[in-house]
Chain A
Amino acid sequence: MKVELSGSELIEVKPEDLWKAIIDPEVLKKCIPGCKDVIAVSHEEYSMKLNLKVGAVGGSFEGKIKLSNLEPPNKCTLDVSGSGSLGTGSGIAKINISKNNELNSIIEYESLGEVGGLVAGVGQRILYGVAKHLIKKFFSEIKNHFLNDK
């Protein structure tokens, strides 16, 4: 089944700092909900391990993220694919970081994903809600990360 998500967040750092953070495996590992590991395979490719719970079902997910159309510190496209006991997932997300004022950035995202297996078959009713929640949690962790940095 298809999952479409888009939104934006205000983060109180400069675009350059935000960019650095979201391509840093250590930061990602800390901020992505359920993330067990992030390894940078190259500058443009990461591998990732997650443990997630979607409603009644939980399990593992191993995936790859490829970055393309890189325009640091403003734009990139993420190509995600993976599978695990939760099922399969793939998707594309477009990220756009812009300067709000001297101290703040706005990050906008637009993504289209497709999931299969357990997560689609059992978690479908709440999948959209869970996905939104996970993204929200990711950004709140990013914000925390910068707060702690300060």
Chain B
Amino acid sequence: MKREKFKFLSKDRVPSENSRFVSGKGNFVADIDRPNMLHVAILPCHEPAAIIKKIDFSKALELKGVVDIVTGDELLNAIKPLLNGLDTPHVKRYPLAIKRVRYAGEWVCAVVANSRAVAEDALEKISLELIKQEFVLDAEEALSDKSPNVHPDHGSNILLEKKFIWGEVEKDFDKSDHILNYTVKWGRNSTVPIETFGVVAEWNNIESILDVWASIQMPKFSDHIATVLGLKGNDVRVHFDVDVGGSYGVKRGIKHTILASYISRKLNRPIKFIEDRLENMRAGDAHGPERKFNVSLAFDNNGKINSMKMRALDNAGAYAGRAPFQLGKPIGAIVGPYKISSVEYEAISVTTNKAVQEAVRGFGQAPTNYALETGVDKVASYLKVDKLDLRKLNFIKASEFPYTIPSGSEYDSGDYLTVLEKVFKETNYKDLINKRDKLRKKGIMAGVGIASCLEPSGGNSSFEPLLNEKNKTTTWMESCQINVDALGDIIVKIHTTSSGQGHETLVSTIVGEILEVSPEKIRVSRPNSLESLPGNSPVGSRMAIMLGGAAARAADKIKSKIMEIAKFKFGVSKDNLIYKNASVISNDGNVLTWQQIIDLCHRQINELPSGMDPGLASFDIMQVPTGGKLPKNNKVHMYPCYSFEFHLVLITFDPVICKPNILSYTVGHDCGTVINPSIVTGMTYGGVAHGIGAALFEEFVYDENGQLMTQSFLDYLMPSSNEIPEIKIVKHCTPSPHTYFGQKGSGESGYLGAPAAISSAINDALNPLKLEVSSLPIRMHFVSDLIASHENNGKFKK
């Protein structure tokens, strides 16, 4: 159903969540206190690899206020390992280290006490006897037979190794005029929300039920808890009305929650565990992809890119986490916005003695975009053609949609050239190049960067069966319930937590649009998991499409019932009825008002068509549009929608100190029909800032001894308002044919292209010196050394 004019949709409306957050009335997990509650602190082990010989906590137990101390050995006998979705039975992960530690900071035991302070004091009284083991930190080294195995029973460090060949790769390489090989690296960074992970778990012995309040963003969370603890699904009640203080993927918290829940069941008391920053940074779910790409591009003299070979080696850290699958999502947009006819993709995920990787915004797409975009720049530089012209030449044209890429996904729609034109109206490319050249004449390092990237959206999980043949999942549904009460007021229920995505605004706008009721009058409720229908939470940039879709379909069902009632009441056919302003008007002038509809549904079943149920309620469980198939011949269609973004940036820095200055930043963004412009704009601003962080600042760094050197914000650098320039956002709308209103995803916008664009600009600035940087984050002191070394013919020494 497409609509030309919207009442509430795409209008500049203030998101309904704003007032509660700006007035400090959010309800975060740290705000939740339960009677008789106990607190947890965690003892980490600081060795990157060791066998645990003995844990002596007798002195800690003597401390007043300490109630219990739980070790890995205890958990081993009481719960199942966490689920990882792979077929790796010997890579087992528990909330606490079992027999051996595999990364510095890994949790060894949990102290339970009357207060967090007492629990922390008790940590100091626990002594560990360890036998140090060999460790490995580098992914390439971890692949070698000589390297120590992080999980000796597994027999190697390889979690996933899969090579895909889509199309005639060798033929395309043979017939191409040129081949270019390059390597780029994406540093281990993340999203680092202000709120660390927190959970309150409360087991009720009488009713046999586990209540969980947690700052989560994780699909199938309650199922996971029940499975690991050996409970029935309906024994676990996860409360979705907890506000989550930022996530973008990292608020998994499953090990924290299993631990707190286990303790709560054991002691029959509520348990609160709020990570501190150190726990979060070194052993929470804070780390994202760390990846090395070896890429070969085959292309012709005219710049046409024919084929790509990409090897992506991912350093997963000590356990499986979500890392291996983050190599899977990019398969759905492996050629970006370009017509590349064949691809070879080798995805390798290895364990090392670093912290475990979890999901991060884009689920691996931003690193892959960076690798591909760097290559496109390199081809342009090699052929001495403009990198913008090269992109234009290789773009999929608006008339070519739907467009199926070699790996099997079908891109829904797009109009990349028009987005570019719109961007250049705001910031002219040629003018920017002229400005750059003028700056260069003054001795300033200046570079123009561009990146054109896709955001696959509508979160499906088809990469799981593609990477693990035992996984036969073909649905990744989302649902929504609507009830119109006896007073005529509308309640919409959504079945997930929100970490700033504005789900309440999303569903109230959409239900309001369809029922023509002001969204302000609609109450959105986030019940607990027992009162919810199946859903898969806000991952994979999916909620505008999936939750928005389910809400629209549920609202349509309400409207259909109303129309049935009107048809019956007025004795006319549907064609003679119009739904307008929450009333039904017949062509002969009869009006059925909202109040009348409510009276009929709630009080006068005798006036309803025979057999019609009373009340006015509906629900919808929606399948991902275009999804539903298992992979065939190593190919699968992954995402229903593909948003497009184009970044154009001018960066300058002086050749000595190299402090970067982003003089101009413009991003063109096409995510189809926008539900709420303010939310999409906020996503894109934040995404660009996040991408600038990944490009220039943020990295979880380990020293050669396996110690994490960036455990706090002293060392893990985050961009602040000082580093983020004014960002101009240029919007364009190419509706998706697969969604209710033509909407696409935008939860990852900005972040998917900004790192590539910044790298492109810095490399452009270095181009006159024939220097380049090929790993993120780009350390400007390294750039400074590079320039100095060049100026001294390589004789420069630090």
Contacts and interface: CB of A to CB of B under 8 A. Distances in A.
Interface of A: 1-2, 56, 59-60, 62, 83-85, 87-88, 114-118, 120-122, 124-125
Nearest to B43: A85
B123 A85 contact: yes
Nearest to B703: A1
A114 B47 CA distance: 12
Nearest 5 A-B pairs (CB), nearest first?
A117-B46, A121-B711, A116-B46, A85-B124, A120-B707
Nearest to B44: A117
Contacts of B715: 121-122, 124-125
Which residue of B124, B707, B711 has the most chain A CB atoms within 10 A of its CB atom?
B707
Interface string B18-52: 00000000000000000000000000101100000
A88 B709 contact: no
A62 to B, nearest CB: 7
Q: Which of A2, A87, A120 has the most CB of B within 10 A?
A: A120
A118 B124 CA distance: 13
Contacts of B105: 117
B707 A116 contact: yes
Contacts of B44: 117
Contact of B46 (A59, A62, A87): A87
Interface string B699-723: 0000101111111101100000000
16 contacts: A1-B707, A83-B46, A114-B705, A116-B47, A116-B706, A116-B707, A117-B46, A117-B105, A117-B707, A121-B282, A121-B708, A121-B712, A122-B712, A124-B709, A124-B715, A125-B714
A1 B702 CA distance: 10
B124 A120 contact: no
A124 B278 CA distance: 14
Nearest to B281: A121
A87 B712 CA distance: 15
Interface of B: 44, 46-47, 104-105, 123-124, 127-128, 278, 282, 703, 705-712, 714-715
Given A87-B46, A122-B278, A116 B705 contact: yes
Contacts of B282: 121
B124 A121 contact: no
A83 B714 contact: no
Contacts of A88: 46-47
Contacts of A59: 124
Contact of B714 (A2, A56, A116, A118): A56
Given A121-B278, A125-B714, 19 more contacts: A1-B705, A1-B707, A1-B709, A2-B705, A56-B712, A56-B714, A59-B124, A85-B123, A85-B124, A88-B46, A114-B705, A116-B104, A116-B707, A118-B278, A120-B703, A120-B709, A121-B711, A121-B712, A124-B715
Contacts of A2: 705
Contacts of B712: 56, 121-122
A118 B705 contact: no
A114 B132 CA distance: 14
Contacts of A117: 44, 46, 104-105, 707
Nearest to B702: A121
A56 B47 CA distance: 22
Contacts of A121: 278, 282, 707-712, 715
Q: Is the interface of B mostly helix, strand, loop or mixed?
A: loop
A60 B124 contact: yes
A132 to B, nearest CB: 20
A2 to B, nearest CB: 8
A36 B556 CA distance: 73
A81 to B, nearest CB: 11
A122 B711 contact: yes
A125 B124 CA distance: 24
Nearest to A60: B124
B35 to A, nearest CB: 31
A83 B278 contact: no
A2 B709 CA distance: 12
A54 to B, nearest CB: 12
Nearest to A2: B705
Nearest to A59: B124
Nearest to A125: B714
A122 B46 CA distance: 13
A120 B47 CA distance: 12
Contacts of A120: 703, 707, 709
A107 B105 CA distance: 38
- A84, A114, A115, A118 — which one has the most chain B CB atoms within 10 A of its CB? A118
Contacts of A114: 705
Contacts of A115: 707
B43 to A, nearest CB: 9
A125 B712 CA distance: 12
Contacts of A87: 46
A122 B714 contact: yes
A125 B713 CA distance: 13
A115 B44 CA distance: 15
B215 to A, nearest CB: 24
Nearest to B120: A85
Given A83-B46, A88-B46, A118 B128 contact: no
Contacts of A56: 712, 714
A112 B337 CA distance: 54
B711 A118 contact: yes
A34 to B, nearest CB: 14
Contact of A62 (B47, B127, B711): B127
A105 B524 CA distance: 80
A56 B127 CA distance: 23
Contacts of A84: 124
A73 B709 CA distance: 40
A81 B69 CA distance: 26
A62 B124 CA distance: 10
A44 B678 CA distance: 71
A53 to B, nearest CB: 14
B120 to A, nearest CB: 8
A102 to B, nearest CB: 46
B654 to A, nearest CB: 25
Nearest to B710: A121
A88 B50 CA distance: 13
A2 B711 CA distance: 17
Contacts of B714: 56, 122, 125
Contacts of A124: 709, 715
A59 B703 CA distance: 22
B51 to A, nearest CB: 16
Contacts of B47: 88, 116
A1 B123 CA distance: 23
A94 B213 CA distance: 55
A56 B104 CA distance: 20
Contacts of B710: 121
A115 B707 CA distance: 9
A88 B127 CA distance: 12
Contacts of A125: 714-715
Contacts of B46: 83, 87-88, 116-118
